[in-house]
């Protein structure tokens, strides 16, 4: 990835943590980074909710299927690859995470309904900050 792509990815990683209310520590950011790196390698859409809220700040929370289908080059549900530009100014921690993802093979993550943390593909949970 070139510098521009790293900044775009780092911005998505940063905003996903904010949207999920997840801790923005190195482990969480690097784990989310690994999901996006794995999805990019497989040619899968990133499915980042933060990109929808970037181009449509009035989209419902939680996101509905209609919002995921709206046209925008920033819609990472409808498009594969990275969007054309960053969606925020990422922190140094998010930039490092984009550069150095974990070596995990996760391709999905979601917020645990019981608010214990983020659940990755194999049910590994990274706890919320208290």
Per-residue model confidence as pLDDT tens digits over 16-65: 988 888 888 999 999 999 999 999 998 999 999 999 999 999 999 888 99
99-111 pLDDT, tens digit each: 999 998 888 876 6
Q: What is the mean pLDDT of residues 71-89?
A: 97
Instruction: Note whether residue 13 is domain-resident.
Output: yes
122 falls within a domain:
no
Residue numbers of the domain that contains 42: 3-105
* Interval 59-84 mean pLDDT: 94
Q: For residues 16 and 109, give the distance between their C-alpha atoms in angstroms, rounded to a whole number.
A: 10
Confirm whether 31 is domain-assigned: yes
For the chain, give the percent of residues with pLDDT over 70.
84
Structure-block tokens of residue 77 = 């549900």
Residue 127 lies in a domain: no
Question: Is 11 among the domain residues?
Answer: yes
For the chain, percent of residues with pLDDT exceeding 90: 68
Q: Is the pLDDT of residue 126 over 70?
A: no
Total domain count, the chain: 1
Residue 114 included in any domain:
no
The answer as to whether 62 is a domain residue is: yes
Does position 128 have pLDDT exceeding 50, yes or no?
yes
What's 45's DSSP letter?
B
115 within domain boundaries: no
Contact indicator for 12, 46 with CB cutoff of 8 Å: yes
Predicted confidence at residue 122, as pLDDT, reads 53
Helices (H), the chain: 3-20, 26-42, 49-55, 65-68, 92-99
Closest by alpha carbon to 36, among 125, 92, 105, 91?
Answer: 105
């Amino acid at each position: 990835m070139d510098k521009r792509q790293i900044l775009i990815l780092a911005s998505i990683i940063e905003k996903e943590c904010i949207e999920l209310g997840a801790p923005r520590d190195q482990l969480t950011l690097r784990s989310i980074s690994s999901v996006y790196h794995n999805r990019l390698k497989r040619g899968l859409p990133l499915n980042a909710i933060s990109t929808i809220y970037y181009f449509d700040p009035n989209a419902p929370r939680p996101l509905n299927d209609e919002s995921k289908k709206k046209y925008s080059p920033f819609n990472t549900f409808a498009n594969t690859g990275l969007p054309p530009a960053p969606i925020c100014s990422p922190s140094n921690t998010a930039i490092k995470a984009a550069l150095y993802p974990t070596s995990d093979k996760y391709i999905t993550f979601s917020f645990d309904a019981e608010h214990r943390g983020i659940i990755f593909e194999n049910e590994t949970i990274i706890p919320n900050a208290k």
